[in-house]
Amino acid sequence: MKFSYIAGRLVKTVLITVAVVLLSFFLIRAAPGDAATVMAGQTGFADEAYMKGLRAEYGLDQPLPVQLWRYVSRVAQGDLGTSYVRRQPVADIILERLPNTLLLDAFALLVAAAGGIWLGSVAARRPGSAGDSAVTVLAMLFYAVPQFWLGMMMVLVFAVWFHLLPPFGIETMGADYTGLARLGDVAQHIILPGMTLALFFLASYARLTRTAMIDVADQDFVKTARAKGLTERQVARRHILRNALIPLVTYAGLQASLLVGGSVLVENVFSWPGIGTLAFQAVQSRDNPLLLGIFIVTAILVSLFNLITDIAYSIADPRVELGR
Amino acid sequence: MSFARRFFASPPAIFGFAVFLAIVAIALAAPLLFARGPLSIVDMPLLPPGSPGLLAGSDVIGRDMAVGLAYGARISLLVGIASTCCAVGIGVLLGAIAGYYGGWLDDLLMRVTEFFQIIPSFVLLMVLVAFLQPSLGSAVIGIALITWPQVARVVRGQFLSLRSREFVEAARIIGMGDARIIFTQILPNALPPIVVVSSMMVGNAILTESALSFLGLGDPNLMSWGSMIGGSRVAMWVAWWTTVLPGLCIVITVLALNFIGDGLNDALNPRRRG
């Protein structure tokens, strides 16, 4: 049973990937002008023969189904095309930057989950108390604050006014630290962008944990645990929190796409050398293949992350419906 | 209690509504309030707020920040409301069809909305706007394209639960066509959650628009809050007001809209309070 659920989810992930690639192909076709006009525009001369040569070189003179087939099979082999501007394979450029983005996102996710669960359980302990209201107000505020602006405010306060933390980059330029010193340097640099990215999710995890814990606290097995004579602390930790965390796993999966969108903006505020700053450069230089490649890669990563959270959920909660 | 009285019974909703009206008024009156447009240079660059004739200071190239902020409200509200209207239009139509007819149409729509939930929609939006060329229109279309599935899911759920109710059966028996049943019988009954979702979407659309303009994907000929922040990044170290003020405008506007949304939610679902 469990196996068929996981198999079904695998198929779904593959289908999503295929849909992403089809959508990308459609977007390329829908954009005004093709690769040949863009490249001709960049080199500065555009006589008919040159354009024709370019179109033949990139297969743009082929019928649509043939182009689609070629595109899909190229992407399937990990070939995301060539950057117009850098003249390098898009996949290589993205792979070089990807670890930095993954580091930032993982840091933010961990901070958000740990902080959110903690704040949420504090709020759930006494619903309606000042601490509880504070969490609600904070969440409300973070829903209304643009993440990129929050990042700039963090820079303003912690770097410009108080000189506490480095505002830009992933490590000190030209310092050439190695080993532990480098790790410490990166850790200092990740605090501001990581916290900026984490705060929004921290607020929503706190709200979700709070609701889930209040829901679970009403259930019979919790009453049983209390009746057995367990202390309030043991009940909260072992019985309520554990069960309340299960929906959080799915939620983390659903929010992964927001996390990626947020990290694009936050990376740009803090000049974090990940694929978010890369996307910005691609927009600036009208490097469409690079931008599209970033979309494909992030979409596949997010759908893989969703696959993992769904499987984790099915393991954590044996009641999970095995239908779809 | 009437709907309006329930809505205005909540202080945050009153506050949100009042602030929203004020912002709309400023947006509409911007050309009357200021003699010059937001792009014209009026003084030295980076003068602090309160300098003679400059309520909110001047920006990196000496444009009046106050004028920019007032005109920025126009862009934010326009994009927020227009994109939400488009998204609601698409979402209601597709959600209604899927929920009413069910079957493979419904399956297909649900798969599509799941797809949009999973993919990083902001990156897709960047691609859409960049490919269509940055403009007000492409921002509206792009935001509508990534947000309609939220509406469609809500509408579909409502239609699914309402379609087998007695009043729908009755309408069918007296010979009403499907289209008439969908739009005159079920849709009015499905409206409350649609209204709540849409009011929340306006605020989110404003945030998304500001993020696009911040990244330089806004209309280059228009002054928006996001582009003011993006354009002031170099001056942040010496002139806090160039980034702080437009950001506060966004926060206040979105907060007001979210308060309105919460108020609508409470007023329309009196039983689901708390």
pLDDT at residue B93, as a whole number: 95
pLDDT at A240 exceeding the cut of 90: no
Contacts of B217 in chain A (CB under 8 A): 283
Q: How many CB pairs under 8 A join A and B?
A: 135
Are A291 and B117 an interchain contact pair (Cβ–Cβ within 8 Å)?
Answer: no
Contact B68, B228 (CB under 8 A): yes
Selecting from A16, A145, A288 the residue whose C-beta is nearest the C-beta of B251 gives A145
Per residue, the 3-state secondary structure of B160-184, as one string, reads HHHCCCHHHHHHHHCCCCHHHHHHH
- Facing residues of A66 across strands? none
Q: What is the pLDDT of residues A262-299, one digit of tens each?
A: 999 999 999 999 999 999 999 888 888 899 999 999 99
**Banded model confidence at residue A62, pLDDT cuts 50, 70, 90:** confident
Please state, rounded to an integer, the average pLDDT across all residues of chain A.
85
**Banded model confidence at residue A193, pLDDT cuts 50, 70, 90:** very high
Selecting from A144, A280, A306 the residue whose C-beta is nearest the C-beta of B258 gives A144
Are A302 and B250 an interchain contact pair (Cβ–Cβ within 8 Å)?
Answer: no
Token output for B145: 């394209």
Contact B95, B154 (CB under 8 A): yes
Q: What is the pLDDT of residues A201-214, one digit of tens each?
A: 998 888 888 888 88
B127 near A CB under 8 A: yes
pLDDT at A127 exceeding the cut of 50: yes
Burial (CB count <10 Å: 0-12, 13-18, 19+), residue B273? exposed
How does DSSP assign A172-188, residue by residue?
A: -TTT---HHHHHHHHHH
State the virtual CA torsion across B168, B174, B180, B184 in degrees, nearest 10: -60
Contacts of A155 in chain B (CB under 8 A): 236
pLDDT at residue B81, as a whole number: 96
| CA-based nearest distance A229→chain B, Å | 31
Rounded Cα distance, A249 and A313, in Å: 6
Q: What is the pLDDT of residues A15-61, one digit of tens each?
A: 999 999 999 988 888 777 666 776 666 666 667 777 777 777 777 77
Contact B130, A283 (CB under 8 A): yes
Residues with Cβ within 8 Å of A20's Cβ and at least 6 positions away in sequence, in order, are: A295, A296, A299, A300, A303, B119
DSSP state of A171: S
Burial (CB count <10 Å: 0-12, 13-18, 19+), residue B177? exposed
Contact B3, B267 (CB under 8 A): yes
Within 10 Å of residue B49's Cβ, how many Cβ atoms?
A: 16
| CA-based nearest distance B182→chain A, Å | 29
- Facing residues of B54 across strands? B51
Within 10 Å of residue A74's Cβ, how many Cβ atoms?
A: 14
pLDDT at residue B273, as a whole number: 44
User: Which residues of chain B have a pLDDT value below 50?
Assistant: 273-274
Are B243 and A144 an interchain contact pair (Cβ–Cβ within 8 Å)?
Answer: no
pLDDT at residue B72, as a whole number: 92
Contact B252, B19 (CB under 8 A): yes
Rounded Cα distance, A140 and A135, in Å: 9
Contacts of A265 in chain B (CB under 8 A): 122, 211, 214-215
Domains of chain B plus CATH, in order, are 2-272 (1.10.3720.10)
pLDDT at residue A1, as a whole number: 58
Are B119 and A141 an interchain contact pair (Cβ–Cβ within 8 Å)?
Answer: no
Are A146 and B126 an interchain contact pair (Cβ–Cβ within 8 Å)?
Answer: no
pLDDT at residue A33, as a whole number: 67
**Banded model confidence at residue A315, pLDDT cuts 50, 70, 90:** confident
Q: What is the pLDDT of residues A135-155, one digit of tens each?
A: 888 888 888 999 999 999 999
Q: What is the pLDDT of residues A95-118, one digit of tens each?
A: 999 999 999 999 999 999 999 999
Segments in chain A forming alpha helices (H): 2-30, 35-43, 48-57, 64-76, 90-125, 130-144, 147-154, 179-217, 220-227, 232-234, 242-269, 275-284, 288-316
Nearest CA in chain B to A253: B118
Contact A274, A260 (CB under 8 A): no
Token output for A9: 């989810």
Burial (CB count <10 Å: 0-12, 13-18, 19+), residue A281? middle
pLDDT at residue B142, as a whole number: 96
The ipTM assigned to this model is: 0.91
Contact B244, A153 (CB under 8 A): yes
Place of tokens 């961990």: A110
User: The whole model's pTM is what?
Assistant: 0.91
Mutate to test the interface with B, among A152, A260, A307, A308 (most CBs of B within 10 A): A152
